[in-house]
Structure 1
Amino acid sequence: MVFKGRTVLAFVLLSMFASSIMTLTIVNPAIFAAVKNEVGAAAAEAKSGLSGKDINKIATTYQLITSKYLSEVDHEELVNGAINGMLETLEDPFTVYMDQKEAKQFGENITSSFQGIGAEVTQEEGKVTIVAPIKGSPAEKAGLHAHDVILSVNGESLDGLTLNQAIMKIRGPKGTQAKLEIVRPGVTDPIQLIVVRDDIDVETVKAEMLEGSIGKIEIRQFATNTAESFNEELAALEKKGLKGLIIDVRNDPGGLLSSVVEIVEPFVPKGKPIVQIENRKGLREETKSEQDGGKPYPVHVLINKGSASASEILAGALHDSAGSKLIGETTFGKGTVQVTFEQEMGDGSNIKMTVYKWLTPDGTWIHKTGIAPDLAVEQPAYFKAAPLSKKQTLKPDMNSEDVKNLQIMLKGAGYDPGREDGYYNDQTAQAVKSFQRANSVPVTGEVDEETATKLEKAIVAAIRDPKNDLQLKAALESIRKEIR
């Protein structure tokens, strides 16, 4: 497999097994070959390292279960359970075992389009956690946010499931519903969301020329065709007289390192590092720019807490090695690299195991801390408002988290509720009536399902309107200063 002059020997995982997409990376082939050799040697050593007593304990446990346990137990489930048990002792959410069915689905998702909710997920302290909803996906439209914890899907609890088992419940055919119960940081009560599964658009790059000949290129994920699309769009913008560039990787959960390298290299001078990889012994190897990179115009990068994995590599590389300014929020913080071992398993199953750290060009390991922006900019409060539960009609004198979110949404839609503390006062009721009049629903001053749905749609429209994007506005203002 060749990526613009670079022979790639194998895929190495950079990010998490996702509900609708796979995020992968490719590291230096020499490093990967070394890992494979180390694994082979380690496997041989492990076999010799297991004493007869160890093997006897395992075999005896298996025999006792199959011969004495109250119910019959499937052989494959026992073996898979033993493997999962060993991996779980590592307490690493990114190291997982995939049985034949899961591994097959994993392989298909690498090369095909996807059906699902469109969100990258991981497992933190046993909880299935959103890394980022894909831009334009059903998950984003339904109001899922980075760091939301999914408790259940269609009434089935995810507690106690492996990440892959949870993903199998989240995924589903296009048009079917995933009724999610989630917990959101800072929100007291669980939130109910309905996400309609759909085909996930694999179009990863969107470009436009903004006022003042400032280009904006949005990267939604780093797939096999992303770098090619990015470079085509960049060339088109440059032909139009590009004076400054904004690269937007907000809510981009990651992808192929090869794509990151191809995108970043034209901006980074030859010989400067793009990313570093560190193994368990602390030995590091750099991926350096092989091009005479550098642009005659300023470049800013938009980031937020949903920018993860490969997005963080791009942000770190452009910041440290190309002098780009980062604007927005601190990123997710995914700084480990996983390798898949399907061939070694020998039966169609697969183990995805953490084998490296990745570090920014200046040697910073951003795992669990993320990359902080040069210019911190928060979006308006309604960007993060939770959808209304619609369990009951909201009325004056109520005091709840739902009312608080209602007030945040009303203010975002241009109707002043007078307060945002969750108490439904007279001014909140008047704001509701004004909204109802403007949107052709019965004017009651109370929020039933119809009013709640229309208000949520109004907020989605407001969020998508660039004039409300404070982070983009800050990037434009900053880049204009540099152009002058």
Structure 2
Amino acid sequence: MKLSKGLKWFSALLVTTSVLSTTVPVTAAPFSLFGSKEQLSDEDIQKIQEVYRSIREGYIEEIDKEKILEGALKGMVSATEDPYSEYFNKEESTAFDNAMSDSFEGIGVQFQVKGGEMVVISALDDTPASKAGLQPNDVIVSVDGTELKDKTTQEVMKLIRGPKGSEVKLVIRRGGSNFDVKLTRDTIPNYSVTSNLDEQDKTIAHIKIIQFGENTAKELENAVKKAREDGAKSFIFDLRNDPGGLLSQALAIGNMFLKDGDVILQTQERGSDPTVFSADSKLYGDFKITEPYVFLVDGGSASASEILAAAIKENTKHDLVGEKTFGKGTVQQVLNQSDLGELKLTIAKWLTPKGDWIHKQGIEPTVAVEQEPVAKAVSLSYDDTLAKGQSNDGVKNLALILKALGYELESTEYFDDKMEAAVKAFQKDKGLTEDGQVTGKTADALNEATRDYLKTHDAQYDKAKEVLKQGNNS
């Protein structure tokens, strides 16, 4: 099948659709879309029939025919060893489709299945997951005590999803250590662009692209127009923790920044030459962004956001500020068959304008800036207690927070007298019981203070402003 520019492709990372706002409508196609004439031989079918009969007649417990068929279909897809390809049964398909609603309730984390594990891609901004400090490449080990190894994304969805205000406990593995995170579920809105003028310089607009949903290009156009009306003369476009979305929207948005004829990206199917997609005002619209601008990227920028970042980096002199991106260079399409469910299948890889494949490599920023260490801190547990004499990951995490808040420490790995004094000083500042232990209200207050600190301490954003004012991004 030759990919058509008229198709609406789905290039989003596969995510837990119940808790995220990045799964968006796609044009579904039948399983037979590819028109392959290859068929299973009679011998192949006989092997399958033998296994089927053995299970139905010999397994110790009675097992439903549909369950066996579903297992066979999932097994075929798992043979690809591709974390972005997956078969959904009817129930899972319904959940997948329901995620297209305006909002839903969960924690706001995007992940992929990798080696049977749930690996975090990004935590959406201002969601329970981001407030708890979940980071790209964290592994979600369990949910409320249920191990996630070898579960499907839809199975994990059922565990993580829940009503607003309810709590869920995750075990997270980062590096070689596990730690607990308790989150309160919230409503995750399904908008994709936010915008505000810089507090110090009202001529700079900070526009955050949260995801590439069905209407993101139009939302971005409206945000830019409104910012212009409000006096903006330059822009910081923020792709940090943007896990991607529809490829069609990446093309439409890329067109806003490039001259007609500039290559936005290339796609390549198995056994085919690359197909080139170029900026085209007649095809994608004539709205253009001509003011000075820079882009912010980080390890949570993936898929469609990387398409846009690569197009900017390879076609213009405008800077990418921040950290290396995630590295997802494949395209998926949802194939629908009402009697069988849905198959989300990787059908192509996408290449940068210059023909590079960034899969598992990511895109390097032109101006590298690491975020402050406390930005990677994990939310402190309300239930657990950190106290003098301890030495664990929780203490290291606490040290990051206390240092960022301006308290003096001697050790960042051991809860010593100096750390206890710092905790007591914080408790005094907040009107809390001065017992030197971190639990309950003290943990909550430290978490809130950290979030407030990060709102006004963003090294990457500050660098983007500096780069803009140097005048090299016009």
What is the TM-score when the length of structure 1 is the normalising length?
Answer: 0.89
Q: What does residue 391 of structure 2 align with?
A: 399
TM-fit CA distance, 1:214: 1.8
SS in 2 for 1:276: strand
Provide the residue aligned with 1:215 in structure 2.
205
**Following TM superposition, by how much is the alpha carbon of 1:190 offset from its aligned partner in structure 2, in angstroms?**
1.4
Q: Which moved more, 1:72-81 or 1:208-217?
A: 208-217
**Residue in 1 that maps onto 2:465:** 476
Give the aligned residue type for 1:315. Answer: A
Paired letter, 2:180: Q
Instruction: Identify the residue that residue 58 of structure 1 maps to in structure 2.
Output: 48
Q: Residues 265-305 of structure 1: CA distance to partner in whole angstroms, max 9, x if unpaired?
A: 12100011112111111421122111378654322100111
Q: Distance in 1 between matches of 2:21 and 2:183?
A: 20
Matches within 5 A, 1:368-407: 368-389=360-381, 392-407=384-399
Q: CA deviation at 1:136?
A: 1.4
Is 1:21 aligned to residue 8 of structure 2? Answer: no
Cα pair distance change 1:469/1:114, threshold 3 Å: same
CA–CA separation in structure 1 for the residues paired with 2:307 and 2:454: 27
Structure 1 Cα separation of the partners of residues 416 and 344 of structure 2:
53
- 2:34 corresponds in structure 1 to 39
C-alpha distance after superposition, 1:430-457 (max 9, x if no partner):
2112111101111223323322221111
- CA deviations on 1:79-125 (whole Å, 9 max, x unpaired) are 01111111111111111000001111212223442222211110111
1:248 to 238, 247, 269: 238
Aligned equivalent of 1:191, options 179, 184, 195 = 179
Structure 1 residue aligned with 2:107: 117
Which residue matches 2:447?
456
Whether 1:71 aligns to 2:61 is: yes
Q: Report the Cα distance in structure 1 between the residues aligned to 2:385 and 2:167, rounded to whole angstroms.
A: 24
Tell me which amino acid in the other structure corresponds to 1:367.
H
2:302 to 305, 308, 327: 308
Query: Where in structure 2 are the equivalents of 1:271-310 lying within 5 Å?
Result: 271-291=261-281, 295-310=289-304
Between the aligned partners of 1:458 and 1:268, the Cα distance in structure 2 is 41
TM-superposed deviation, 1:405: 1.0
C-alpha separation between the residues in 2 aligned to 1:282 and 1:173?
47
Q: Structure 1 residue 309: deviation in Å?
A: 1.1
| Unmatched tracts of structure 2, length 5 or more | none
Q: Is 2:330 aligned against 1:330?
A: no
Q: Is 2:248 aligned against 1:258?
A: yes
Q: Is the 8 A contact 1:14 1:336 kept in 2?
A: no
The letter of the residue matching 1:453 is D
Mapped partners of 1:24, 1:8: distance in 2: 20
**Superposition CA RMSD, Å:** 2.5
Matched length: 463
Identity, % of aligned pairs?
A: 36
DSSP 3-state at the match of 1:300: strand
Gaps of 5+ in 1: 1-5
Shift of 1:216: 1.4
- SS for the counterpart of 2:100 is helix
Which shows bigger deviation, 394-403 or 126-135? 394-403
CA contact (8 A) 1:269 1:322 kept: no
Deviations 1:114-166 (A, max 9, x none): 22221111011111011111111122122222211111111111112123222
- Are the aligned partners of 1:305 and 1:331 in contact in 2 as well (CA < 8 Å)? yes
Helix, strand or coil: the match of 1:232? Answer: helix
1:127 aligns with 2:117: yes
Distance in structure 1 (CA, Å) of the matches to 2:217 and 2:306: 16
Structure with the largest fraction of helix: 1
Q: Which secondary structure state, in structure 2, belongs to the residue aligned with residue 190 of structure 1?
A: strand
Say if 1:23 and 1:256, in contact at 8 Å, map to a contact too: no
Partner SS, residue 350 of structure 2: strand
Q: Counterpart of 1:197 in structure 2: which amino acid?
A: R
Q: Work out the CA distance in 1 between the residues paired with 2:59 and 2:51.
A: 11
In the TM superposition, residue 36 of structure 1 has moved relative to its aligned partner by: 8.0
